[in-house]
Structure 1
Amino acid sequence: MAKKKNITKDAIISSYMDYVLEHNENPKSVFAFSKHNNFEESKFYEHFASFDHIEKNIFERFYLNTKLILDKSEDYLNFDARNKLLSFYFTFFENLTANRSYVVYVLEKYKKDLKGLKMLSGLKHHFTNYIKSLDIEMIDVKQENIEKLQQKTLQETAWLQLLVTMKFWIDDTSPAFEKTDIFIEKSINTSFDVMDVAPIKSVIDLGKFLFKETFQMN
């Protein structure tokens, strides 16, 4: 009998993702999964409480890996809020694309309603805190309660925008997902233009793009 492996948290995550893609289903049990990968079941519980916990952790790691890359860039650290968010999006979706088979597998059946998905709750926590840290300039109303409501609304709207972009990316069949890149640039710029009360041209441009792509995909 082969000696049981001493397995790490990262190795469990990698093995779980591989298992899901190779078998086109989740493992039947922690016992079966541990046996399949030749490590003690107790080692699994040192890091995770369940398979749901792993799935949640995977999406958190997409955020954390993205932020780690960005924080190493001196250019990024000197960007304004708009360009920081654009950089975040492009880097985050590069992370998703590197793991596209897994991400599409676990999200495809939920893509019409990603908002309340538990596996994305950790990602939401990190991302909305990130939006708050950008100190995006809002209309100065000099009312503390209204300012708090503005900030909360901004965070929730930004989260919904990220989910919409993820859905667009899941459905995107263009080479190198170039249409997703276009969508990111148009949607982020439009959001900032609206907050800056800029001309409505960007809103119209985004609307035309969305209508065209939705019509073609359907």
Structure 2
Amino acid sequence: MAKQSKNKSENTQNIDWREGFVKFSLENNRLPQSAYELAKFLEVSEESFYENYSSVGALAQEIWKGWFETTKSQIQTDEQYQSFSVREKLLAFYYTWLENLKGYRSFVEIAMQTKNLCSQEQYKAFKESFKIFAQELLNEALETGEVQNRNILNQSYPEILWWQVMYLLNFWLKDTSQGFERTDAAVEKAVNLFFDLAGRTFLDSLVDFAKFNFQK
């Protein structure tokens, strides 16, 4: 009996739970609703699932965060990346991230449409990691002057960029243009809009001029 349990444990160690989660979703046109359901689909015990994850929501989070981490690693290991402006770095992230998602497009469509606890939780870890990444870019942009220091408003920038992420994801899923050309254009326009608004504007110059005259 002990030998049988050992063999079963060895078999479950080879399971790629993330790929299993994706496969279940594609074959059932919905996300798995429980650990039991996913484990049954993969023909393993529910106990083996809980040896790795606390819930299917936690597994879904790892999938989305994994795509983010892969993308971040890819762009940051590019030799040219460090010479990019912050605007270009954000563009590079979006283009690479969406390119990586192409192989999972059908799954992403299902994940975005499914309405359950798992679907609501799935972006949490990705969002947290992305906002840290966004803040790092914004700190650099403040130093280079690509983004102006507007005190309290600065704190909202990472959240604004997260909204941008979700906007681009939804735009990409609805895009029917060849080679997703319209999505590429949407990425460029969205990023340019952000930096045009967060950068130095006529209003900033007017405020500086007013301060100069007041101090005089």
**Fold shared per TM-score above 0.5:** yes
Task: Indicate the residue corresponding to 1:89 in structure 2.
Answer: 94
Q: Report if the CA contact (8 A) 1:132-1:151 is conserved.
A: no
Quick check: 1:98 aligned with 2:103?
yes
Task: Indicate the residue corresponding to 1:178 in structure 2.
Answer: 181
1:38 deviates by 3.1
Task: Indicate the residue corresponding to 1:206 in structure 2.
Answer: none
Match of 2:25 among 20, 44, 60: 20
Amino acid at match of 2:30: E
Counterpart Cα distance in 2 of 1:172 and 1:130: 27
User: Can you list the C-alpha shifts for 1:186-209, whole angstroms capped at 9, x where unaligned?
Assistant: 11012112222468xxxxxxxxxx
Counterpart Cα distance in 2 of 1:85 and 1:26: 30
Unmatched segments (≥5 aa) in structure 1: 111-115, 142-146, 200-218
Unmatched segments (≥5 aa) in structure 2: 203-216
In the TM superposition, 1:171-210 aligns within 5 A as: 171-197=174-200
Quick check: 1:72 aligned with 2:81?
no
Task: Indicate the residue corresponding to 1:130 in structure 2.
Answer: 133
- SS of 2:123's equivalent in the other structure is helix
User: Can you list the C-alpha shifts for 1:115-139, whole angstroms capped at 9, x where unaligned?
Assistant: x943211111011111111122233
Match of 1:169 among 168, 172, 176: 172
Q: Report if the CA contact (8 A) 2:31-2:111 is conserved.
A: no
RCO higher in 1 or 2 (8 Å CA, sep ≥ 6)? Answer: 2
Counterpart Cα distance in 1 of 2:51 and 2:33: 19
Q: Report if the CA contact (8 A) 1:108-1:170 is conserved.
A: no
1:80 deviates by 1.5
Counterpart Cα distance in 2 of 1:81 and 1:87: 10
Q: Report if the CA contact (8 A) 2:127-2:162 is conserved.
A: yes
Structure of greater Rg: 2
Counterpart Cα distance in 1 of 2:187 and 2:96: 11
1:98 deviates by 1.7
Match of 2:154 among 132, 151, 155: 151
- SS of 1:74's equivalent in the other structure is coil
- Give the superposed CA RMSD: 2.3
Q: Report if the CA contact (8 A) 2:26-2:106 is conserved.
A: yes
Quick check: 1:39 aligned with 2:44?
yes
1:99 deviates by 0.7
1:109 deviates by 5.2
Q: Report if the CA contact (8 A) 2:61-2:123 is conserved.
A: yes
